Structure 1
Amino acid sequence: MSNTNHSLTRGSIAAKAAALLTAAALGLTGFALTGGNAASAAETTPTAATAAQSQEDTPFDYYAGIPDLPSDHVFENITLERLEDILRYGKGNFVILIGGTWDSATTAALPAINTAAKAQGIEKIYNFDPHLDNAGADTLVNINDKNNAVDAFAKRFQQTIDEFGLTDLQSKNTANVVDLPTLFTYNKDNTGDKVLASTANVADSAELTRVLGTAKNAATRANGQFYTNYYLNNVSAGAASVFKQGEDKDFSLISVTYGELEKLLQSPGNHYIFFGATWCGNTYATIRYVNQEARKYGIKHVYTFDTILDSTSGKGSPFHIRDNYNNGSHPLSDLYTHLVNTYLPNLVTEDGSHGVVDSKGVGATRLQVPLLLHYNKNNAAQLPGTDQPAGPVTDEVVDYHGKTANVDAKPQPTAREYMLN
């Protein structure tokens, strides 16, 4: 992937996405393209690409480091959008834990819940944290708080409880939507209560057995099912469907929450990150191809993050961390500036360095959606054969413009959104 090829003017996402995936898969070991020739590396076959995956596509576990929780645990952290997808479309009995890893009661119970679940043949417990930034007492967006000063935050989780028949989970504390943590089993097609059983006493082994016993061999609903189902059911008039039936079984896109993304950005290794959203028309046009290219080059993990934390409220929403309303008045702009300025200092986009301004007047580059990038927190060099300035973002799918292709040139060229060219 030469400098000339990287500042592509070809009119397709295909060349650019493939170049990024190929270069990252083949040539980032030690952050120097092997063989001394980036272009020759890009021409290597996809079969050879898979050989580097242990180093270039690092698996990530949000629950790693929790005492006594084995690596083969049953927990999967999910966004609010994925929770509602399970409640709306999931077939069979599901097990859901409401609570966050910031809570000592939740983390202390995870090993016992894991053991009890495996005894019932349960492969997956979906964990939803109503602190949408996955933070504890310092959370900026607690939708479990019915007295939240932001009206949209105060109402959002109650809306989910009411819409999907989860009234059995309602907290007796009028300030909260549910008690944390709460473990429950659920079947949307149950003729009686959709909540089969529930408990807020997750430290009691008898309670765990009682609740989990109502969902032996519980159903699962993977990221592939979530994404393909969404796009098959949300096709604009006159538009082609994005994914096709059966494509959910060969899937690399993994949706992550804000806290997952931050922990990922703090973790060692090499990671693919895709900023995209189901509400975004530009993502609609590119998401299937990103997944296809990832599978083609043996990339198993493309961590996908939506900058609107409830994924449904649209632009101008108080849930949208990438929107600052009027110079810092947005309630979540601080989350965005923290994320970009702390972890993505060499992010290059066509928007200026003060594209988003937080409550302290601090600005951050406003990233484009969709945006695919490759990341390693320990990288400090500019990789040969790329235009990306030195830093943890080792490459990204943008179209560089300027006097030269190399962003080390001054003045820095602009970097237009490439993925829809």
Structure 2
Amino acid sequence: MALLLAVFVAIPALAAHAAEQAPEGVVASSGSNAGHYDYFSDVYPSLKNESHVFQTTTYEDIAQIFKTPGTYAVVFGGAANPSTQAQIAYINQVAKEKGIAKVYNFDTRLDGKDDLDIANSTNAFAYKYTDLINTYLTGAADAANVQNQTYVFVYNKDNGGGSVVAGFKSAAVAADFQTGGIADASKIDAYKAQIRSVFGKANAYSTISAYDLIAPGFNHNGPFYAPTAAPIFDESDKDLVLEHVTYDELLGILRSEGDYVLLFGGSWCPNTQAAVKYVNEYAKKYGVDKVYFFDPRIDAGLDVTKPDANYHENDKLMIRDSKNAYAYLYVDLAKQYLTNLRAEYETRAASNISYTDGNGAKVEAIRLQVPYFFTYNKDNKDADGKAAPILGHIELMYGWGDTSKKDADATKSYANYIEALNSVLSRTESLPTGLVGVEPSQFGGTDGRIDGVGGKALEYKKASDTEYTPVTGSSIWRLAPGEYDVRYASIFGAQKKNSTTKSYDKIAYKPGQPVRIAVPQNTTPLQLEAPQGLKGIATSVANDVYGGSIIGTAAGQEYKKVGADAYLAATTPSITGLVYGDYLVRNKAKDGINASPDTLVTVPKYGQQSAPAGLAGVAPSGPNLKDGQITGITEGLEYKGASVENAVYTKIEGNGTNGILTGLEPGTYTLRYAATDKLAVGPSVDVVVPSKQTQDAPTGLQGVAPTSSANNDGQITGVTADLEYKAHGANAYTPVTGSTITGLAAGKYHVRVAAKPGFYASADVEVTVPGYVAPYVPPVSSTTPTPTPTTPPAGSGAEDGKIVVSAKLVSKFDASNGLTSASITASEVSGLVDSAKKSRVGRQGSSHRTEHRSESGHQVGAADPAARRGEGARRRNPGRGEDQLCGLWHDCV
């Protein structure tokens, strides 16, 4: 479809690639570091340190507000207007006093400067303002002339006395609020009183969502190009992350520090219509909550006097057009900020957008097409240190009639666009942020990790290494302490090929600069486990002070009474001669491993029992299982569920199962020594059998057969470093270290998400690596047919002086590429030539054509000069399910 501006020519570039998942190892993120830009605090010094209620509106936005039911607070004015600069802080203060959540600001300077002020009656586009006023603000005399003035008003289209409920217009500048160069409170209060009077005319104020500003234009224009397709936006899109920005606001974003996600396009554009829904959907999937949406048609093509018209037909304010007087707005923006711009037209200088500057020189920039979706950071540098503010882009020209069909779209437009979105949205920031190094679980361990990598196309290396490794999971796992460099890996952008094919070009973006992350050392030295199975026993003689004991001790232990300075070597299997009280027992340090934590054991007084000592809870081995444990069980204990009302204690037989109480659900249990015929029950202790969270089983796994009879290079694809696997029947799992498991024999394998602190391993998924299948080789004839002349068939060319000879060729099938070939030897060619010569008698001077026939009887002509190697090949056309003949030719003699 032809547009006045060739840069927006809407000819679908239909791709043949299938939609892919997010780039290898990347999953949709729950949060993105894509930035937000506050235009008002940037361009109004009086709002720099103030919270405010203002929102910019484009020409399309303000018209949409004027068409929408509700009561709205509106300000006409802008940053280049001295009166707005002077008044806006006071308007903000009064609006907040009144509890107004949003004041909508429309700047009649559509470029943010004086050049394109549609409130200036001398401007060629002044009719855009008068049309707006005459359509929506009829009867509002103050609206007629607002040049260099600030107009504050309350709007309700359904108000009986006119759509402007109340308003106040003022040309007052900073000096008008001062006396002797100092702020004059009385003048300020007088102005604020006027604004209070205006805002006081309504009891409540409406706000309008991004959806209600943006969706109506798309749903209005879409049917002009896809009349049978569903509306572009529906209820499922209500939470829209797109936000219109003005030209001046766009400049502010592009010159600001930070990472931004942007879309150039418009509701008038059929190609933007094809993509905008999915840009919103996938931005949210990747945690992006703001996509700044700029329309290079500054008025969106909207003619408010023709509400039913297609916006596409009006391109008078398209700044990306060399014929437009405001083309410099696009050219200057592109040259200053989009310095690494890639686009379909980048190699076609004749298509550049240009203008002539004040010195008569031609200034030009690469023409981009819309929709142009891109991620941006003005300070970004690639891995080579070169400025690269655009981190990734998509410039694909599709139609809603195709993309609305999603996977049923035969043109693959939807699949291509989603593939590209998954790539570009995997990098929405210049440098990786939110990365945290986590120490190994123990001193000297190598199970440290770097967290915070989910949803990002990253790669990493040890600081001292040179080669990067792709990140394929939710964390970078199995790291020794040290410093690591992490950076964004190369991603691809997408743009239409310079051709009429359905494919598209993947534009490589270089990796980014690295950040250095330290994985700290676990400074807690290795420790032995605390002793279990200990029990304090009271003296059996009433007046024997030193008759107590601790039983269950083992070699290598030591003890002391609480409060004592030094440990004493423990005797086995018990420590005797103890006075009642509390004791600390531990395993002694050895072989460079620190002593264990203490186990507190109480030796009770005569006639009493101690509390259980050294008990520990162990989580069930999997979700919904009842095989949790309490370890350290000694003889004589009983237990009950601590949270179960009126629970009854259950006696544990002996010391359980080798000192373990099994068969427990997660929860808190109360244990004590049961009463005996001589002793009352002892004090109780609570022990927690912990629980863990579950993890979903992996998806998207695919077994790939070995490529030879060696049966040793099978693969499982679609894995990440979060996973582990084992062969069917094996006991132990092996950690996955990349994006593919390689070196596998054919057979069944089990793959699962590995357990990690606080999480169970997932259920495993069985994946079959198919067996190697040798290619089929058809039997070959041992004899070579002798070429013989044949009677030329009708239409063979013999009628015009040509000789036709034929030979049967031996065919061979190659399973590796699916081709069947038929060849002819040099001697056979000589035979054919001799036969042809014999048949030429009386027909000298005629042209000759040699034809071969394959074993299957297909005739192979010599009319194609592109293939002259004395062979004929026949291949299977997988798309049509039929044989397709490929002629390979030699010159005729």
Normalising by structure 1, we get a TM-score of 0.77
Match of 2:130 in 1: 158
Q: 1:292 to 1:171 in 2, by over 3 A?
A: closer
Change (3 A) 1:95 1:293: same
Change (3 A) 1:414 1:122: closer
- Residue from 237, 251, 264 that aligns with 2:240: 251
**8 Å Cα contact 1:382-1:391 kept in structure 2:** no
Of Structure 1 and Structure 2, which has the larger fraction of its residues in helix? 1
Aligned to 2:53: 74
2:155 aligned residue: 186
8 Å Cα contact 1:286/1:420 also seen in 2: no
Tell me which of 253, 260, 275 is aligned to 2:249.
Answer: 260
- Residues 82-112 of structure 1 deviation map (CA, whole Å, 9 limit, x = unaligned): 0000001x22110110000122321222221
Q: Measure, in 2, the Cα distance between the counterparts of 1:358 and 1:315.
A: 24
Question: Which range moves more in the overlay, 340-349 or 313-322?
Answer: 313-322
1:189-213 deviation per Cα after TM superposition (whole angstroms, max 9, x unaligned): 1111110011113760111100111
Q: Which residue of 2 aligns with 1:238?
A: 228
Tell me the alpha carbon deviations over residues 359-402 of structure 1, each in whole angstroms, 9 at most, x when there is no partner: 33211101110011010000122599xxxx85111111247xxx
Structure-2 separation of matches of 1:415 and 1:296: 22
2: CA distance, partners of 1:182 / 1:194: 15
Q: Distance in 1 between matches of 2:104 and 2:503?
A: 34
Question: In 2, Cα distance between the equivalents of 1:397 and 1:233?
Answer: 25
- Which residue of structure 2 lines up, in the alignment, with residue 402 of structure 1? none
TM-superposed CA distance for 1:296, in Å, is 1.0
User: Structure 2 vs 1, CA of residues 84 and 357 (structure 1 numbering), >3 Å: closer, same or farther?
Assistant: same
Q: Distance in 1 between matches of 2:94 and 2:119?
A: 27
How far apart are residue 276 of structure 1 and its match?
Answer: 1.2
What is the match of residue 63 of structure 1? 40
- When residues 271 and 420 of structure 1 are mapped into structure 2, their CA distance, relative to the original with a 3 A threshold, is farther
What amino acid maps onto 2:87 in structure 1? Answer: A
Shift of 1:357: 1.0
1:94–1:185 contact (8 Å) kept in structure 2: yes
Structure (1 or 2) with the greater strand fraction: 2
Residue 189 of structure 1 aligns to a residue whose secondary structure is coil
What is the aligned partner in structure 2 of residue 293 from structure 1? 282
Q: Are the equivalent residues in 2 in contact too, given 1:349–1:367 (CA < 8 A)?
A: yes
- 1:136-147 alignment runs, 5 A limit: 139-147=114-122
- 1:340 paired with 2:341, answer no
Partner of 1:26: none
Q: Retained in 1: the 8 A contact 2:222–2:270?
A: no
Report the CA distance between 1:72 and its aligned residue.
3.0
Alignment partner of 1:320 is 2:304: no
SS at match of 1:346: coil
Using the alignment, how far apart are the partners of 1:121 and 1:281 within structure 2?
41
Query: Equivalent residue for 1:381?
Result: 382
CA deviation after TM superposition for structure 1 residue 140, in Å = 2.5
Q: Give the deviation of 1:76 after TM superposition.
A: 0.4
1:110 paired residue number: 88
Alignment partners' CA distance in 2, 1:378 and 1:62: 19
How far apart, CA to CA, are the structure 1 residues paired with 2:164 and 2:203? 15
Find the aligned partners of 2:384 and 2:334 in 1 and give their Cα distance. 21
Match of 1:404 in 2: none
User: Are 1:416 and 2:405 counterparts?
Assistant: no
Checking the alignment, whether the CA contact within 8 Å between 2:34 and 2:260 is kept in structure 1 is yes
Aligned: 1:50 with 2:25: no
1:71 Cα offset (Å): 4.8
Matches of 1:126 and 1:274, distance apart in 2: 22
Contact 2:243 2:290 in 1 (8 A): yes
| Residue in 1 that maps onto 2:105 | 127
Distance 1:420 1:243 in 2: 27
Question: How many angstroms does 1:9 deviate by?
Answer: 6.1
CA distance in 1, matches of 2:126, 2:161: 29
Partners of 2:503 and 2:115 lie apart in 1 by 33
Change in CA separation of 1:117 and 1:216 when aligned onto 2, cut-off 3 Å: farther
Cα distance per residue 1:223-250 (max 9 Å; x no partner): 12112233344441323210113522x1
Aligned partners of 2:384, 2:41: CA distance in 1, in Å?
A: 30
Q: Rg bigger for which structure?
A: 2
Task: Tell me whether 176-185 or 186-195 shows the greater mean CA deviation.
Answer: 176-185
Q: What residue is the counterpart of 1:222 in the other structure? A: 209
Letter in 1 for 2:316: P
Counterparts of 1:417 and 1:289 in 2: how far apart (Å)? 22
- How far off is 1:50 after superposition? 3.2
d(CA) in 2 for partners of 1:382 and 1:370?
Answer: 28
Which amino acid letter does the alignment assign opposite residue 121 of structure 2? Answer: K
Residue pair 2:380, 2:388 contacting (<8 A) in 1 also:
yes
What is the Cα deviation at residue 146 of structure 1? 1.2
Q: Secondary structure at the match of 1:200?
A: strand
Q: Give the aligned partner of residue 704 of structure 2.
A: none
Amino acid at match of 2:140: D
Alignment partners' CA distance in 2, 1:341 and 1:144? 29
Superposition deviation, residue 281 in structure 1: 0.4
Secondary structure in 2 matching 1:50: coil
Q: Distance in 2 between matches of 1:420 and 1:121?
A: 54
Report SS of the residue matched to 2:274.
helix
Deviation at 1:267, TM superposition (A): 0.3
Cα distance between partner residues in 2 of 1:358 and 1:382 = 34
Paired residues of 2:232 and 2:273 also in contact (CA < 8 A): yes
TM-aligned CA deviation for residue 170 of structure 1: 4.2
* CA distance in structure 2 between the aligned counterparts of 1:111 and 1:420, rounded to whole angstroms: 53
Q: In terms of mean alpha carbon deviation, does 56-65 or 353-362 score higher?
A: 353-362
Q: Helix, strand or coil for the counterpart of 2:88?
A: helix
How far apart, in 2, do the equivalents of 1:309 and 1:224 lie? 20
Q: Which residue of 2 is the match for residue 28 of structure 1?
A: none
